[in-house]
Amino acid sequence: MQTDMHHSLVYFLARAIGFYPWAARLIAHSSQNVDFVECNDLVPAGRFLVNMIGTSHKPLDLKILKTQKRPRPWAEFHFLPNGKDSGDPYERMRCQKDGVLIPLLLDNVLLYKSEPFFLHLAGIALHALCDSYSHWDFIGLSHESNKIRNNSLKIEGLSNSVNEQIRNSLKSFWEKIQGSIAQTIPVGHCALGTLADVPHLRLEYETEDGRTVVRDNIEDFIAAALKVYEFLIRVSEASAAYEDPASKCQSWEDLAPTIGELISKEGSLNERVKNWRQAIRSGEYFPVTSEDKRIWYTPETWGLNQLVARLKKGEDPNYCNPLLFNRAAHIQERFILQEMRNRGLILG
């Protein structure tokens, strides 16, 4: 998924449930930030060395994408394995909607409710939850079954002009990096470009190993939004410190029409984010504050330069959001890798 879901939807739901704006912002920013942290080094910052963990990497890093056989970072943050019993280890690594590791991951988050990075960890887990509804059937490793057959892709539910724009955009994306569409980099949903992450699309295609896949993103994304709502309710119940007394918890039934409308509405990413911002500012589901009016995501806010600068100035590590995000990411990585070991998905 993209910023409209990972950030805007998550913020909207957190506020509609009754979180303070600052708490909703921490969760939503953490959810989106997963897509932008690429550093995997020990970084000097004042009197500290920060053990950075990359939760993503550049989408056009061909050296990584074409050879990636290790799960990091895709399996832990973007393509959680289904973990089902199978003789084929790669089939066990295939992502599944709300797969078996997701409930375990969400339960694990709640164990850290007293930690300063609790909301950051909740946001990171929500990223994995949401991605399971857009990345299902793909494997977060370089594998041939991620390829789709040329010219098999059908896009439904769009105006002809937008459909053609998307096809041209996808074709241009692949021609920029190397050769024919969808066949050069078999990691995750690279074969579809960003189409798997666009909420209002319906897709059908054939994989290179002969499967016909039909994706109804509208249906899947609404289902994901419900799961986000349910988990945020659990997070709010974990501590009264996050509850805004000026707001009241809205029911899913009251929120569902607006969520369905916004997910179904055709538009570019910027247009979709704008639509969510309008819903946040509408005042229909919660009192609008100045922070609600300013809500926006930029990677630089918690970027590496900010982290280093803040620690050099002597900021308390327990209140430094980029560092708290990093700590939470380490926890999720360790948890998922351990669950994969427990289930015999990986050894070592």
**Over the stretch 314-335, which tens digit does the pLDDT of each residue have?**
999 999 999 999 999 999 999 9
Cβ-contact 54, 73 below 8 angstroms = yes
SS3 187: strand
Kindly calculate the radius of gyration of the chain based on its CA atoms and give it in whole angstroms: 20
Contact partners, residue 248, CB within 8 Å, separation at least 6 = 18
**pLDDT for the residue numbered 58:** 62
Cβ-contact 78, 188 below 8 angstroms = yes
Task: Tokens for 304, please give them.
Answer: 């590496």
Q: For residues 128 and 138, what is the distance between their CA atoms, to the nearest angstrom?
A: 14
Tokens 């029911």 belong to 251
Please give the mean pLDDT across all residues of the chain. 89
**Over the stretch 112-169, which tens digit does the pLDDT of each residue have?**
999 999 999 999 999 999 999 999 999 988 888 888 888 888 998 666 655 565 666 5
Is the per-residue pLDDT at 209 higher than 60? yes
Cβ-contact 246, 29 below 8 angstroms = no
Task: Tokens for 29, please give them.
Answer: 């920013």
Can you name the residues that pair with 81 across neighbouring β-strands? 95
Identify each DSSP E strand in 101-243 by its residue range: 154-156, 202-206, 212-216
Helix H, strand E, coil C: the string for 153-167 is CEEECCCHHHHHHHH
Is the per-residue pLDDT at 272 higher than 70? yes
Tokens 């300013």 belong to 294
**Over the stretch 291-318, which tens digit does the pLDDT of each residue have?**
999 999 999 999 999 999 999 999 999 9
**pLDDT for the residue numbered 179:** 44
- Averaged pLDDT for residues 30-44: 96
Q: For residues 220 and 223, what is the distance between their CA atoms, to the nearest angstrom?
A: 5
Is the per-residue pLDDT at 69 higher than 70? no
3-state helix, strand, coil in the chain (%, to 5): 55, 10, 35
Q: For residues 74 and 141, what is the distance between their CA atoms, to the nearest angstrom?
A: 7
pLDDT-based confidence at residue 88 (cuts at 50, 70, 90): confident
**Over the stretch 159-201, which tens digit does the pLDDT of each residue have?**
665 556 566 655 555 455 444 434 444 555 566 778 899 999 9
Cβ-contact 110, 234 below 8 angstroms = yes
- Averaged pLDDT for residues 227-244: 97
Identify each DSSP E strand in 151-307 by its residue range: 154-156, 202-206, 212-216
Tokens 């946040």 belong to 280
Is the per-residue pLDDT at 61 higher than 60? no
